[in-house]
Structure 1
């Protein structure tokens, strides 16, 4: 990896049996490779035990000393090393999966002053309700959410052989990644110049 390449963590949010998220993640990482502005790592939340019960202290103030389970350390390390995130989420009951909320709540500084883009999928809304909720939550953690994103309504009809059927989808992905790279570079430079005043 070029030391100047930005580190992108692609988060697969759903842990539900039969989930579609890994298919979307593979395609997104392919688009990242074509874009060339990031070194991408897929972080699949199904690979981690993420308890719903949290310690009394907030991770906002505990920093590296926060008492996370040992099995969560690779997740924490990946989030901390990221310059940017792409969250791939379905929509469950007009919101996002509990697995993602738990992963978010176990961390704080790992999200701070970093950009987040969204790729969602679902029924008629294409996961947009989930993204609206995530924008509110991640703003509270001082992350910067990207306005443009990708949404796939009725994903079970519009994907074939691991790819979206819409020929414009790669162009939309490039736009999102261009914006994400701009924010990632700007925020990385700012974090290196001075600590973020959270």
Structure 2
């Protein structure tokens, strides 16, 4: 590995009032810090304006200045990351619109980087959202790691102070996923620097149709 620590961005995908996502993200960020191989940055999408009205062509084909000024900080932080962990609930058997907006406003920032998932919800533990996110990130040339962390009935698993009542299983699952992110993140970190050929252009149907 050519870097001492990989830059890991932990993304809170929900912006809903009363959301539980920050508690889950804080727990995972602590696990990643204790792992010892990552520089961890917590990114809360509630702190960024995420317009749902997209420009006529993908942002990857435009200079960064064409993004809303309020989004440029998010863009820089995503670009600086070597790996990502997305913390997501299930909303109506899918993932939050805020998360899709953040993904769609970016393109090269995800390319050739590994992505892990931490899910939470009442029944599925976020797995329905995670399986759909795998398809989305695959279209953006990211690599999603196999293992995930899942919290079904999360409200029974965390105490009122946001700490896990029985941390052994989730802590082990977090380490497994972090080990995978470290391996893929290290390999892809070096590959992005050794192979500087331009990334493929977004497919014409990436936004549904080619804009005339």
Fold agreement, TM-score > 0.5: yes
Q: Select between 125-134 and 53-62 the one with higher mean Cα deviation.
A: 53-62
Matched, 1:153 2:147: no
Q: Is the 8 A contact 1:35 1:174 kept in 2?
A: yes
Distance 1:39 1:195 in 2: 25
Query: Structure 1 stretches (4+) deviating beyond 3 angstroms?
Result: none
Aligned to 1:18: 18
Report the aligned-residue RMSD.
1.2
| Residues 7 and 102 of structure 1: CA distance in aligned 2, closer, same or farther (over 3 Å) | same
Aligned to 1:192: 193
Aligned to 1:114: 113
Q: Is the 8 A contact 1:121 1:127 kept in 2?
A: yes
Map 1:30-179 onto structure 2 (within 5 A): 30-62=30-62, 64-65=63-64, 67-160=66-159, 161-166=161-166, 167-179=168-180
- Give deviations 1:126-152, integer Å, cap 9, x for gaps: 110000110000000000001101010
Distance 1:84 1:100 in 2: 16
Q: Structure 1 unaligned segments of length 5 or more: list them.
A: none
- Give deviations 1:135-191, integer Å, cap 9, x for gaps: 000000000001101010000111113222332211111111000010000000000
Bigger Rg, structure 1 or 2: 2
Aligned residues: 195
Q: Structure 2 unaligned segments of length 5 or more: list them.
A: 201-212
